[in-house]
A and B are shown apart, each in its own frame.
Chain A
């Protein structure tokens, strides 16, 4: 079976006036379906760059990235955007829900992007059940929810289009430790049910939940 994500000799260089910065230096690795991987490394190690490349927000300078076997290097903006919509679920540190939309609408948003029209909220409710958010909050706006609840909504939004992979950027970084661990337990459960999860973090307690940890130092994989 094809890996969900495969990096082949990926180099990322940021051209700056003061001189080029090599953020990723010939990186190769693969993530198999059903894996729960954490990516750790100090600030400036290239963690965020790696995340942006995995999320198809930024193309590699050289090398190539394959998402379920499809090379992203040759794709244009429209194709990359559709790829993000259909195959990747993003989970952010600051939840990043849309303040103008209520819970159901937030969760439905990627589904509406995909279908191009209004959709039945049944699937959103189903996913919200899976992330254990109670029914009474469904018509609330994000501002009326606690941090943990917001992150559950964000996870539900990431899951709605049945992505190949969940990409998490410090998912517990803005939560207290108790709520954080409940979110991580939810992630573990989703992983048990088959979700592929990549979690970028510098928190060792988060990394503990993963099957394997990739350490980045100075743009290279250390272990």
Chain B
């Protein structure tokens, strides 16, 4: 139609002006969409490293209102309220049945891998082998440990110290706590609420009890069965054990995860909102050039109206103009935001594998739609004003 043609030609003869307005929209779309991409990739990265957690409730000794962390010494020397007694454990076990309650021992210890190597410090967990499948520890090599002096090691630990199945680790300074034989290597688990095994050793509970002379636990991991609410399990444990004094603190992995995701969501929204400000600035510049376009064509509008052009046709001409700028600017912005998202992901997350996801496509789509909507919204008033000029005054305009 002729008005579409006029809109196109008008943009073309004012190429510089139109390009600058498009640039504004491009920047706006890139700001919004690439922030969205960054947020999505961040969430994807974090959720991958948290994915092995599953639904668990962690019970650890109550350490007072934000008080001291557990000492590294181990060996039962610490005050009694920093451990979970066997009696407490039995209470938990009864309370959460039929969910599995796994008692876990842990300590930090010096150790040596191979003859003549330097001392290293790492965490040793003590877990009864019957619970290993419940903890979902997947082995990439070897077997679950049989016998007392067998152990599993995390993949990072194995890589760092060149450990293979069958390697021996001497525990304690000068091997005073004996030797453990590596029977399996655990697949990388990432951040975890229960056992952070990647840089640690998992030994048997018997070995741990004998070596450190322990009859209590450092934490209890409750694996909640599917279909049951972790929050309910948390409440049951708290009711049972914290009746009089607060002895344990209970962490609900699901709730913690939810709060982590909601924090990321808030950050993404906030950062995108900052991108939104640049879109508003772009909108103002569209409004500006549309007003200029109307003002310099008042006489032309007067001629059009006097020879029989309807108001809505005049309006459509200016809306087309805003739409062309909006669509071109937004689409270019969308393409650039994928590139920007790629660069940001590569620089800040060190990986671009989360770039081509549904969430990112949605972010880019949102940015493009928002850009077009802003352009149209900012073009409507100038177009309306043009359409409603008095034809006689417009004709007389010089």
Query: When chains A and B are docked, how far (Å) is the Cα of A88 from the Cα of B13?
Result: 31
Contact across chains for A113 and B309 when beta carbons are under 8 A apart: yes
Q: Are A98 and B308 in contact (CB under 8 A)?
A: no
A68 vs B164: C-alpha distance in the bound complex, in angstroms?
A: 104
Q: Which of B304, B305, B306, B308 has the most CB of A within 10 A?
A: B308
Question: Which A residues touch B310, using CB under 8 A?
Answer: 78, 81-82, 113
Q: Is the CB of A86 within 8 A of B308?
A: yes
A105 touches B392 (CB 8 A): no
For the complex, count residues of A whose C-beta is within 8 A of B. 33
Least CB separation from B312: chain A residue: A78
A85 at the interface (CB under 8 A from B): yes
Closest 7 CB pairs of A and B: A85-B308, A84-B308, A100-B9, A96-B303, A112-B2, A81-B310, A57-B391
- Residues of A contacting B392 with CB < 8 Å? 52, 57-58
> CB distance B307 to A90 under 8 Å?
yes
Q: Considering the complex, which residues of chain A in the window 78-119 have a beta carbon less than 8 Å from any beta carbon of chain B?
A: 78, 81-86, 88, 90, 92, 96, 98-101, 105, 108-110, 112-114, 116-118
Q: Which residues of chain B in 1-23 are interfacial with respect to chain A, using CB atoms and an 8 Å cutoff?
A: 1-2, 5-6, 9-10, 13
Give the CA-CA distance A81 to B307 in the complex, in Å.
Answer: 8
Q: Report B-chain residues with C-beta under 8 Å of the C-beta of A100.
A: 6, 9-10, 13
Q: Does A157 contact B (CB under 8 A)?
A: yes
Chain B interface mostly: helix
Q: What is the bound-complex CA distance between A100 and B13, given in angstroms?
A: 9
Of A110, A113, A116, A117, chain B has the most CB atoms within 10 Å of the CB of: A113
In the complex, whether B300 has a CB less than 8 A from a CB of chain A is yes
Q: Does B119 contact A (CB under 8 A)?
A: no
Q: Are A118 and B1 in contact (CB under 8 A)?
A: yes
Residue pair B308, A110 in contact (C-beta under 8 Å): yes
Q: Is A55 an interface residue (CB 8 A)?
A: yes
Can you list 17 pairs linking A and B with CB atoms under 8 Å apart? A57-B392, A81-B305, A84-B306, A84-B308, A85-B307, A88-B308, A90-B306, A92-B395, A98-B300, A98-B304, A101-B5, A105-B2, A110-B308, A113-B310, A117-B1, A118-B1, A161-B308
Residue A189 interfacial (CB < 8 Å): no
Cβ of A77 within 8 Å of any chain B Cβ, yes or no, is: yes
Partner-B contacts on A (CB < 8 A): 52, 55, 57-58, 77-78, 81-86, 88, 90, 92, 96, 98-101, 105, 108-110, 112-114, 116-118, 157-158, 161
Q: Which residues from A are CB-within-8-Å of B309?
A: 81, 85, 113
Q: Which single member of B10, B306, B307 contacts A109 (CB below 8 Å)?
A: B307
- Distance between Cα atoms of A57 and B6 in the complex (Å): 24
Cβ of B206 under 8 Å from chain A: no
Contact B1 A113 (CB under 8 A): no
B109 located at the interface, meaning its Cβ lies under 8 Å from any Cβ of chain A in the complex: no
The interface of chain B, by Cβ under 8 A from chain A, is 1-2, 5-6, 9-10, 13, 299-300, 303-311, 313, 391-392, 395
A84-B306, A85-B309, A101-B9 are known; give 14 further A-B pairs, CB within 8 A. Answer: A57-B391, A57-B395, A78-B311, A81-B309, A81-B311, A82-B308, A86-B308, A92-B303, A92-B395, A96-B299, A96-B395, A100-B9, A116-B1, A118-B2
Q: Is the CB of A112 within 8 A of B1?
A: yes
Chain A residue with Cβ nearest B8: A100
Cα separation A81 to B311 with both chains bound (whole Å): 9
**Are B6 and A101 touching (Cβ within 8 A)?**
yes
Q: Which of B1, B307, B392, B395 has the most CB of A within 10 A?
A: B307
Task: Provide the residues of chain B in CB contact with A161, threshold 8 Å.
Answer: 308
Most A C-beta atoms less than 10 A away, residue of B5, B303, B304: B303
Q: Which of B9, B13, B395 has the most CB of A within 10 A?
A: B395
The CA-CA distance from A92 to B300 in the complex, in Å, is 13
Bound Cα distance from A1 to B1, whole angstroms: 38
The complex places the Cα of A105 from the Cα of B6 at a distance, in Å, of 11
Q: Which residues of A contact B13 (CB under 8 A)?
A: 100
> Are B308 and A113 in contact, CB atoms less than 8 angstroms apart?
yes
For A90, what are the chain B residues with a Cβ–Cβ distance below 8 Å? 306-307
In the complex, A100→B313 CA distance in Å?
A: 17
| A81 touches which of B303, B308, B395 (Cβ 8 Å) | B308
